Chain A
Amino acid sequence: MTFTIPIDNGDALKNAEADSQRTLYPYVTGTSIVAIKYKDGVLMASDMGGSYGSTLRYKNIERVKAIGKHSLLGASGEISDFQEILRYLDELVLNDNMWDDGNSLGPKEVHNYLTRVMYNRRNKFNPLWNTLVLGGVKNGEIYLGMVSMIGVSFEDNHVATGFGNHLARPILRDEWRADLSFEDGVKLLEKCMRVLLYRDRSAINKLQIAKITEEGVTVSQPYSLKTFWEFQAFHNPTAGAQGSW
């Protein structure tokens, strides 16, 4: 998928390297992230796949990471840009810790920082090709937000990126409640992830669910969902096809 930028680079002869420095298209991408607020905090689910175009090249990529003590960051899109963002955040958290003044960066602050970074890169026509999901809990306040590669940023009770927006959010709109228990929250997320597994070609059946509460972060071990492929309609898929050769 090519993305050409209609920019009049007046001295393209002199600035031969200028265009090669800009992000034009992503290479290794992660698919959807689905996240919900629940009773004690935030739950975030992602699979562990990294696609190289249409090839599912990497199957052990962690796309959800803990940031500081109070936040979780999930990313879909270009994996190398996600790694770069993690490096920026690592420096941010380290500097915050070195003050040693009892304060620590909360999810709202991290979300704001990421929004600034993404928007400024977009303004230079050199985006970090990610949609980021930022969730966390600080001082009892549960926070969940999202930033896209063009810097669009908002908070909500449930968010999803990529295909998740189209397939998971309708389910969440119907079935999400503010007082979901941990078990119910996981069940809801698994329901969404199963639909994505069936319908998103870049999803793989190896997912992780991360939880963040006031106590801290836990990221589950990778596991698989049970799937069912014995639906009647799939048994003889070409039965209804007319004139196919």
Chain B
Amino acid sequence: MSSIGTGYDLSVTTFSPDGRVFQIEYAAKAVDNSGTVVGIKCKDGIVMGVEKLIASKMMLPRSNRRIHSVHRHAGMAVAGLAADGRQIVARAKSEARSYESVYGDAVPVKELSERVASYVHLCTLYWWLRPFGCGVILGGYDKDGPQLYMIEPSGISYRYFGAAIGKGKQAAKTEIEKLKLSEMTCKEGVIEVAKIIYKLHDEAKDKAFELEMSWICEDSKREHQKVPDDLLEEAKTAAKTALEEMDAD
């Protein structure tokens, strides 16, 4: 799969003979090196979770937020280069604000994801810019109900029932496919996402991690917010117990 694009990978404005743009693929590799980010759409809302790998014991817990609110009704979880992610979140906030200013209503999630995807794609068209080294999972709740979108460094954006990016994305996708999302409430979803992230965290390669989760659902009054502390603790305990049971077999 990893082919060396010798000569055709120096610029984002160069195609290779087999029709690939290598710089964009390399950007995607940057995303694959980051901690896993998982998002699922339950029947009454969206749940997003991030495996925040802790680089140093000196870091304050709860710092380095990976999930950001983009408007009242939408939030983004970022994987990949943190600084690039900050830029994308800022742009999303700005687009959401300008839509509301012009049209008087909260930006539909589809529209927001299209605008963000356009912006990410923009940076793959010019040689003086480089592609963003981060992928984003955008969750929102509008008139059409809860929606989940994923935007990749190439500028592709699709709508998903469940999405994962980062190190453990293959394993996470397998786990998500086992879930019956259409029957699950967000409260149950929070516990499932915590279980998935704990399960695919590789103890050998990466030492510590912090779990950051957010949701948008009826319980949160359709506003994007951090999962309340008590539910988060409940999810963490359930996840740890599930791990122990697995190890016990």
Contact = CB atoms under 8 A, between A and B. Distances in A.
Q: Which of B69, B70, B225, B226 has the most chain A CB atoms inside 10 A of its CB?
A: B69
A91 B100 CA distance: 10
Interface stretch (A35-43, A93-101, A174-182, A231-239): A93-101
Please classify the interface of chain A as helix (H, G, I), strand (E, B), loop, or mixed, using the class held by over half of its residues. helix
Interface in B15-71: 65, 68-71
B97 A91 contact: yes
Contacts of B173: none
A98 B68 contact: yes
A105 to B, nearest CB: 16
A100 B97 contact: no
Please classify the interface of chain B as helix (H, G, I), strand (E, B), loop, or mixed, using the class held by over half of its residues. strand
A98 B69 contact: yes
A98 B93 contact: yes
Contacts of A87: 101
B240 interface: no
A91 B97 CA distance: 8
Q: Which of A87, A91, A94 has the most chain B CB atoms inside 10 A of its CB?
A: A94
B71 A100 contact: no
Nearest to B67: A100
Interface string A89-114: 00100100110100000000000000
B86 interface: no
A137 B101 CA distance: 29
B72 interface: yes
B136 to A, nearest CB: 16
B69 A97 contact: yes
Contacts of B225: 100
Contacts of B71: 94, 98
Nearest to A90: B100
Contacts of A100: 65, 69, 225-226
Contacts of A91: 97
Contacts of B226: 100
Contacts of A98: 68-71, 93
A100 B93 CA distance: 14
Interface string B190-225: 000000000000000000000000000000000001
Nearest to B97: A91
Given A100-B225, A100-B226, A94 B65 contact: no
A100 B89 CA distance: 14
A71 to B, nearest CB: 18
Contacts of B69: 97-98, 100
B230 to A, nearest CB: 16
A91 B71 CA distance: 10
B135 to A, nearest CB: 21
Interface in B76-103: 93, 97, 101
Contacts of B68: 98
Contacts of B97: 91, 94
Nearest to B226: A100
A98 B68 CA distance: 7
6 contacts: A87-B101, A94-B97, A97-B72, A98-B68, A98-B69, A100-B225
Interface of B: 65, 68-72, 93, 97, 101, 225-226
Interface of A: 87, 91, 94, 97-98, 100
Given A97-B72, A98-B68, 14 more contacts: A87-B101, A91-B97, A94-B71, A94-B72, A94-B97, A97-B69, A98-B69, A98-B70, A98-B71, A98-B93, A100-B65, A100-B69, A100-B225, A100-B226
